[in-house]
A and B are shown apart, each in its own frame.
Chain A
Amino acid sequence: MYKYIIKRLMMLIPVILGISFIVFSIISLTPGDPARIILGNHASEEAVENLRQELGLNEPFIKRYISYVGSSIKGDFGSSYRTGKPVFEDIFGKFPLTLKLALFSMLLATALGIPIGIISAVKRYSIIDGASMIFALLMTSMPSFWIGLMLILIFSIKLDIFPVTGVENIKGYVLPTITLASFSMAIITRMTRSTMLEVIRQDYVRTARAKGASTKRIIFKHCIRNALIPVVTVIGINFGILLGGTVITETVFALPGLGTLLVSAIRMKDMPIVMGAVIFLAIAFSIINLLVDLIYAVIDPRVKAQYSR
């Protein structure tokens, strides 16, 4: 088991090298000059050239990449071109908010999605099933900025319950959490329903029924565990996406999260921040995937047996 974990962690190294090279090339080779962006249209060519020199932008691309990798191995990820602050000071400043939002919304999505999915599957073609599938379809089809704006319009402006912007207290998290959770919840509901339906049709379920086990026992003891594996995968992936991709929700609610930092850094061609954030997210994503794999082992003893081999 530990061997497996260590092996998985070692695999991170080539993954991160690959990702960093791809991102570094994309940022370096696409047009747009960070020095010009920082100094604006009015600054003279000379001042821009000086800043380019200072930021080391005149070096050839490969040389810059190698020196970036060299210094980041030593733990120096550079400083933001824009703020001059060390990269991880900026990233860790934004990460707690993003993490909280991702956690809250995944909790909400899971807490609602799995039960609804199970009920839909068990009571297939009933009114509940129809209603929840339509609800799920609505949630996947409505763009999150629209959901966010509607929630603000109704619950902030009209009903005056929640704030439009800011997360000074727990109330501020409610609307962004719902907005973020809507899509994942729909996916989880649909996923749970379809895998449950598959499991219900299995022979061992028929056997359980034949030997007289109660429906409750069959669902909870025999079906759910088996149905959950694909659902856990979906939850893991969605959680990873939420960690890096809540830009739209952050913009609508004016929240200073990691997504916004990353996107504005890309716009500013703020290479150190982009690299730092992408590497950070890649590590986070890989670790989440690893955790998901470990959870498989908890759910399914067969998988556990494989890991220890």
Chain B
Amino acid sequence: MIKKLGTLALTFVLMITLALAGCANKTADVSTEKNKTREDINIRLKTNVDSLDPQLSSNDYSSNAILNMYNTLVISDSKNNILPCLAKSWEISDDGLTYTFFIEENVKFHNNKKLTAEDVKFTLDRALTVPMGSTYAFMINRTDIINEHTVKVTLKEPYAPFMEYLVLPFYAILNKEAVTAANGDKFANPVGTGPFKFVEYKDGEYLSMTRNDDYFKTPAKIKDVKFKIIIDQTTMTMALEKGEIDFLEELPGAERERFKKDKRFEVLEYPTNYLHYFMLNPNIEPLKDKRVRQAIGYAIDLEAAKKVVYDGAGEVNYTILRSDMFGYSDNIPRYTYNPEKAKELLKEAGYANGFNLKFVSVDTVAGRKAPQVMQGYLADLGITMEIETNEFGVYAQKITGSDFVISCCATLAQNDPDTLLYQLFYSTEMMNMPKYNNPEVDKLLDLQRKEVNEQKRKEYIKQIMDIVMEDATILPYLYREDAATYPVSLKGVTPKANCIHYIYDFYWD
């Protein structure tokens, strides 16, 4: 009796679920006429805001969002060309050491104070003193005020990618008075010059902004901006379908096909400058032998791995540099999938029967999947890999302390390769987490940085690439590809490789 009833009840529940899920077709309207006249936008934000002061933020998602309330001296277009913003023009000295910026004259901060060279100097000086300064402002020597609307920045040595740095939220121009008054409070009301003004931030809920009608260019077309903090990916896609959010910058690979077929939405895939890579620690046995590191490089089929880890999204990379970056050449050595060669190298190194090692990973989707894929490939070589998945805090402590045999990481590259190569390979750099130490590479890195002759610099970079690829402490994996997703009636979305979205450009039509 009970059993029969059970079957009946279960069938009943399933039928109701299916009926409701299947038949009812009153789907949310997200792309109708009413969207065309809208002046507001809701954007998904992946994390809490970690600071409303862009120089104190260490989270790219958070700082990219708050950048909409600020301006930088220059901005970049989707091809990463540098365009004027607060600096209407600039001059670079022939020796590449001094940059003179001519600043727009009629710019007002949200507190009605005029923007002057004083604020620019204040921003750049402060950049040197904040914790992130050593990463973003290491090249600056000093900043001088020439007159009320002109500043001169002197670098320690010529540094080609300097302008690319100025685009980043870290260099958003701050109001001297407001920041001094805030006295290090990361959540003091932000005062920028940007197209949107701060309204409210509620931790775990939203960050809202409203249009700055006194903007120094044409005011934005969007009036009210709300960044809604939604961490869960499934909730995020459902909120998009329901029309509760209008824009998300990262649609997971597995969801892309579905949204591409949905005529209500635009799925705009774009390559980013975020490089994901594996790190092999050359100071710990058995990876001390470079043949073992090379073997690991040959052992993994990156294309196949990409399908599993990122559902096929992204651009697999073998050379650290991307083909459109300065200094890239087809002759850079690389590790393509070749299990035979891998076995041979292991045999030469005396590990024909494999060995044991541990992968230190982080608890994210990719952080869980990537080591599993690698585990399978390494098992083919007889290598037994144990995976240790850590929460972010433990992972960060381990990798920054070089406390791993093999691990993974990601970083934002610039179009100019200098930063990336410096960070990954210079002996004293923080981001050189495997603690790779090669005086020859250090010397070449310094040489290419100072070199003004492009041809010569290319040669230096080629030499660096030959050595570091041979030494294989960093195995590149892929450049992440993001997919901005939004209703078709939202226009003006022009993704940038650095993943900064300027809502100023957005409008409904």
Which A positions have Cβ atoms within 8 angstroms of B? 30-34, 36-48, 50-51, 82-85, 90, 93-94, 125, 127, 130-131, 134-135, 138, 149-150, 152-154, 156-160, 163-166, 251-254, 256-257, 260-261, 264, 267-269
Contacts and interface: CB of A to CB of B under 8 A. Distances in A.
B321 interface: no
Interface string B222-242: 000000111110110011011
Minimum-distance CB pairs A-B, first 4: A256-B204, A32-B393, A40-B58, A47-B131
Given A82-B50, A158-B21, 13 more contacts: A32-B393, A40-B396, A41-B400, A43-B58, A85-B187, A127-B5, A156-B238, A157-B238, A160-B28, A164-B235, A254-B228, A254-B229, A260-B204
Contacts of B391: 32, 267
B392 A37 contact: yes
A154 B9 contact: no
A169 to B, nearest CB: 13
Contacts of A40: 58-59, 132, 396
Q: Which of A34, A164, A261 has the most CB of B within 10 A?
A: A164
Given A127-B5, A131-B5, A165 B204 contact: no
Contacts of A46: 134
A32 B397 contact: yes
28 contacts: A32-B393, A36-B393, A38-B58, A39-B131, A41-B400, A42-B136, A43-B132, A45-B400, A47-B134, A50-B131, A51-B131, A93-B203, A127-B5, A130-B9, A138-B13, A154-B17, A156-B238, A157-B238, A157-B242, A158-B21, A164-B238, A251-B231, A252-B234, A254-B235, A256-B203, A256-B204, A267-B391, A268-B393
Contacts of B131: 39, 43-44, 47-48, 50-51
B232 A254 contact: yes
Contacts, number: 169
A40 B228 CA distance: 23
Contact of B431 (A42, A84, A165): A42
A84 B186 contact: yes
B244 A163 contact: yes
Nearest to A37: B393
A152 to B, nearest CB: 5
Contacts of B390: 31
A34 B10 CA distance: 49
Contacts of A51: 131
A246 to B, nearest CB: 13
Given A135-B9, A256-B204, A160 B26 contact: yes
Contacts of B185: 84
B181 interface: no
A264 B48 contact: yes
Contacts of A94: 204
Contacts of A31: 390, 393-394, 397-398
B242 to A, nearest CB: 5
B135 A134 contact: no
Given A83-B203, A164-B238, A256-B205, A37 B396 contact: yes
A149 B235 CA distance: 8
B218 to A, nearest CB: 32
B430 interface: yes
Interface string B389-407: 0111110111110000000
Contacts of B27: 157-158, 160
A31 B27 CA distance: 47
A93 B234 CA distance: 26
B202 interface: yes
A251 B21 contact: no
Contacts of A256: 202-205, 229
A269 B58 contact: no
Interface in B1-40: 1-2, 5-6, 9-10, 13, 17, 20-21, 24-28
Nearest to B19: A154
Contacts of B235: 152, 164-165, 251-254
A42 B400 CA distance: 9
Interface in B372-416: 390-394, 396-400, 409
Nearest to B50: A82
A157 B28 contact: yes
Nearest to A40: B58
Contacts of A156: 28, 238, 242
Contact of A33 (B6, B231, B397, B409): B397
Contacts of A152: 235, 238
Contacts of B430: 41-45
A42 B397 contact: no
Q: Which of B17, B134, B205, B230 has the most CB of A within 10 A?
A: B205
Contact of A158 (B6, B25, B394): B25
Nearest to B16: A154
Contacts of B26: 158-160
